[in-house]
Structures are given as C-alpha cells and as structure tokens.
Structure 1
Amino acid sequence: MNLVTTIIIIVAVLLALLLVGWVGLQVEPAPLPPPPGPAAAPEMVPLPKGLPQPVERFYRTLYGSDLPLIESAGIGGRGTMRIGGITFPARFRFTHKTGRNYHHYIENTFFGLPVMKVNEYYTNGTARLELPFGVVAGPKIDQGANLALWAEAVWMPAVWVTDPRAHFEPVNEHTAELVIPFGNAEERIILRFDPKTALLQEMRSMRYKGEETEKKILWLNEVREWSRIDGRLLPGTVAIAWEDEASPWAVLTTEEVTYNAQEPLRTGGM
C-alpha cells in the first residue's frame, strides 16, 4: 500500500467518523418520564394594585384579574446545550419549591442516549453542581443559582408577585426591574416586555459565570415563543446566553409544566 492510498484511507475514516458524530448529534432523545403524583389546582388571589404598567399588562394578559398561588412547579422538556464547544441534544426536568429551592436534572445525549448527566441543587441558599468530572460549589455559584431560581419562575411568573420577598420597580413603559432576595442582600433582574403582546420577552441580570470568575457578566434569558401548554400560556422556547458568547449556550423547549404536584425535591444524585 503506497503513501497516497494510506492518506486516502485515513481521510475517508476521519470523514466517516465526523459524519457519524454529526448524525448522532441530530437525534432527539425521548422525553424524560413524567413526574409522579397528581397536581393540585392552585388557589387564586386578586392581582394586587400598584404594579408598574408593563407588569400589570403582562399579568392581565397571562392570568386575568386573579393570580395562582404556586408553591411548587415541575418543568420538563427537550432542547440543546453547548458543552465544550459541542452542541448536544438534551432533555431536562427542573423541580422548584418556588422562591426557595430547586433541582435541575439534565441529560446531554448522543444518538438519543445519555452521555452526560447533570444534577444541580439549590437548597437553603447553597448550590451544588454535580458533573461527570466533579462537583462545583462556592459563593459565586450560589449567586448564579439564586438568579436562576427567580429567572426560572418565568414558567410560574405569579411567584414574582405572590412571594412578599420580591417586588417590582418601574423603569419605562415596556420595562421593569424585579428585585429579589439573596441572603441578607438584594439583586435585580431587568424584565423587558413585548409592546404588541404585553408578554415577557427578555430578562437581563449580572451573574458570575463560574466560581473562578472575578467579575459578573451580563446573563440573558430570552423567551422566544409563548405557547399554549395544557391550556396555559407558558414560555414555549427559552434561550439562555452569556454576553461574551456569540450564541445561546442553551435553548429549551417546554413540553410539560405541573404546579403543586406531589413531586419530592431531590437532594442527591438521580
């Protein structure tokens, strides 16, 4: 076998491997199993007065004149997540004790099979991120997890009003600032609403990208689409991005949302 033939074979094998890899990353996984236990219908309370105008329009569009009291929520779906520069198909379930704790379970897949499982916990103000290559924790991870706790309430946004520890402040006719608790301090998330639909378009906040990061960076959560899911108007597609990256690192498509279900909040690996 001469050198030219050898090079052709090597190139062909590499191209075949690349093709197999590309095909594997196009296969969408099956959804995760639904959560156990029935969901309870939330109690309703009147929409409070004195909200900034874009916030009031948003809630009246979403709920009418009454808000649901949501104590827990489970969000499941599929999407894509970029890890190490590679965009993997993913399936996820987020479980919230609203405004308090959460558990994220995520599987990144190849040919529909899990190749990386992620468990992230935020409990009593402390976060723990369990990855296949180690555990990440620390005060800057806690800060990011607290922002995620409140940003993910976009799937149950009544919590921003019904939880007395959070409140809105006006900015302009299409923007408001959500003030949230973080330990003994407060943090802020800027909410921008669509002038035509009154629905939430984007959330912006300053977040540490990791425990080794010295400065906070702009963290963006964009609601790309609102959809009817089980009769409720909910974020159908959400894109999550960092200001210093060219595209969102995660795009999540919502497939099921349950409120006040008997679903335990996990505190260990799944």
Structure 2
Amino acid sequence: MLGKLLIAAGMLATISLAATTLGKRRWEAGTKALRERIEAARLPVMPRTVDLDALDGLPAPVQRYFRTVLRQGMPMLASARMQHRGMFNMGSQEASWKPFESDQLVVTRRPGFDWDARIAMMPGLPVHVHDAYAAGEGVLHAALLGLVPLADMHGGAGIAQGELMRFLAEAAWYPTALLPGQGVRWEAVDAYQARATLADGPVSVTLQFRFNADGLIDTVQAEVRGRTVGKRIVPTPWQGRFWNYQTRSGMLVPLEGEVSWLTAEGALPYWRGTITAIEYQAAK
C-alpha cells in the first residue's frame, strides 16, 4: 500500500513539474509576442530633452510638479522597465490578498505597456497575468500555471480605455510622459488639482491628479473605470495613490503605491506594491 502511495505521489509530482514547465514556456512566448507588438508601435520621442521653460500656461500645480521632479535639459524617456513586489486582492467582495511579483515594460510613445505578473494563489500554483495596452488594444489575460485560462479580454473601446487610464496614472513612474509635448492636455481645477487628458487614436481618457504640498503627485482618480465583477464589467470610480518618492536617474519617482476601487461601501484596495528595480531608456 505504501509503495502504491509513493508511486502515485511521484506521478503527481512529475505531472505538476511538467505542467509548470510547459506553462512557463508558453507564457514566456506570449510575453515575447505581446512586447514585440508594443515595440513595433513605437514612435520617436520629441523633443529629446526636457525644457522647463516651455511650461508657461500649464496649471500652477502641474508646473510645480514638473519643476520638482525633473531637471532642465535632462533626457526625455523613451521607455522604462521595472519590477514590483506586493500584494494583490483576488476577492471582488471580500478581501483575499495574495503576494505577487511582476515585471513591467513601458513605452512612452506610442503609449504602451505590459504588466507581467505572477500571483501566488497557493504554493506551487501561480496565476500568471498580462495587463497591457498594445497598439491601441487593451489586454487582460490570466491563466493558472500559465496554462488554464481564468480571464481573456482583448480589444478596443472599454478595455482599451481602462488600460490607457492605467498608462496615464502610472506616468508618475516615467514623468516626462506627462509633459504637454507628449500628447497630454492639462486643465486647471484648483491650487492642488488638475485634470489630464491623453488620446491615442480613438481612445481618450481623462484623470484628475492631486498634488501634495511638496509638489508631488499624491493621488490620481478616474470618475469611472471598468471593474470586472464575475463576468460583468461594472463602471466604478477608481483611484491610485503614490508615496515614498526617491531619486532615480535624476528624477523624483514614487516607489510605493496602492490602487483602489471607490465603491458605495467605501474604498476597496486591490493592489499594493513596491518598485524593487527600475531602469530607463532615454530618447535618441
């Protein structure tokens, strides 16, 4: 009996290892193809250097932000590569926080990014996730072990808009992408807030940025963003919050953040993360 149990356990371990290896290979191939699409859509970044003298006419808190986080004449950013670790809330109603690690590629012009995450549902059973915006298309793909599909949404309209919102909100990590010469249009709200609008072809998004007393981005908020609840997409107010600003490549960028849905019952955080590494490619 013991021998049969040991044989069965060995077979299960072999099957699990084979599935993990196959899933990893398939996921990596999909990541490569997705990022090639993002790279193929690149456009030249112009101008190639930051000109703080060209900020006249922007809302006062936006001017203060750029003068705080950037330096005159520094290179504009063409892309960023970053790694995160943190916790992701897998529950739609009740909290179910799971640890994650991720690698993210961002291209600033044409806007594009791929967040490639591994969420530890339980030991040995990771969920792989692509949350991306590629050549005007939104992508949300999740698969257990990289093999068993849990979510697979691609396309324009609502999903593309939601992903372009994410690109715009996370530009606190690649701040030259927020300059008006990069397609962002700023509108004054008050002494500490301004609205930013970014269009990519037919996809256009507007977010409200709140700046703190130090001139840094504190929160970014959307009136509505598509929230997945079961098999439905529910328009829900959405907010990102940033803190722990540090100097990286001559810029002040936040290393920690939290993202929440703002429901009728209150804020429902679903992402809390820390940047563990970040590298930039300058415009050429």
TM-score (norm. length: structure 2): 0.70
Contact persistence 1:76–1:92 (CA under 8 A): yes
Bigger proportion of residues as helix: 2
Counterpart for residue 248 of structure 1: 269
Q: 2: CA distance between counterparts of 1:134 and 1:170?
A: 38
Q: 1:222 to 1:213 in 2, by over 3 A?
A: same
Q: Secondary structure at the match of 1:78?
A: strand
1:103–1:119 Cα contact (<8 Å) kept: yes
Report how far residue 229 of structure 1 moved: 4.4
Shift, 1:159, TM fit: 0.8
Q: Residue 55 of structure 1 corresponds to which residue in structure 2?
A: 62
The alignment of Structure 1 onto Structure 2 pairs a total of residues equal to 219
**Corresponding position: 1:136 with 2:162:** no
2:223 is aligned with 1:213: no
Aligned-residue identity in percent: 23
- CA distance 1:220–1:67, shift in 2 (3 Å): farther
Q: Which range moved further: 106-115 or 82-91? A: 106-115
Specify every segment of 5 or more residues in structure 2 that has no aligned partner in the other structure, as ranges: 1-46, 144-149
Range with bigger deviation, 96-105 or 183-192 = 183-192
Per the TM alignment, residue 69 of structure 1 is displaced from its structure 2 partner at its CA by: 0.9
Match of 1:225 in 2: 244
Give the aligned residue type for 2:132. Y
Q: Which runs of 5+ in 1 are unaligned?
A: 1-41, 262-270
- The answer to whether residue 253 in structure 2 is matched with residue 234 in structure 1 is yes
**Cα shift readout 1:14-66 (whole Å, capped 9, x = no counterpart):** xxxxxxxxxxxxxxxxxxxxxxxxxxxx9523112222111111111111334
Q: Secondary structure at the match of 1:74?
A: strand
Alignment CA distance shift 1:231-1:184 (3 Å): closer
**In the TM superposition, what is the alpha-carbon distance from 1:151 to its structure 2 partner?**
1.3
The list of structure 1 runs, each at least 4 consecutive aligned residues, that deviate by more than 3 angstroms after superposition, is: 64-68, 110-114, 228-232
Question: 1:107–1:114: 8 Å Cα contact kept in structure 2?
Answer: no
2:171 partner SS: helix
Whole-Å separation in 1 of the counterparts to 2:125 and 2:83: 16
Structure-2 change in CA distance of 1:246 and 1:170 (3 Å): closer
Amino acid in structure 1 at the alignment position of 2:218 = Q
Task: Find the counterpart in structure 1 of residue 281 from structure 2.
Answer: 260
Secondary structure of 1:51's counterpart equals coil
Scaled by the length of structure 1, what TM-score is found? 0.73
| Cα distance, 1:150–1:104 mapped onto 2, change above 3 Å | same
2:49 pairs with 1:44: yes
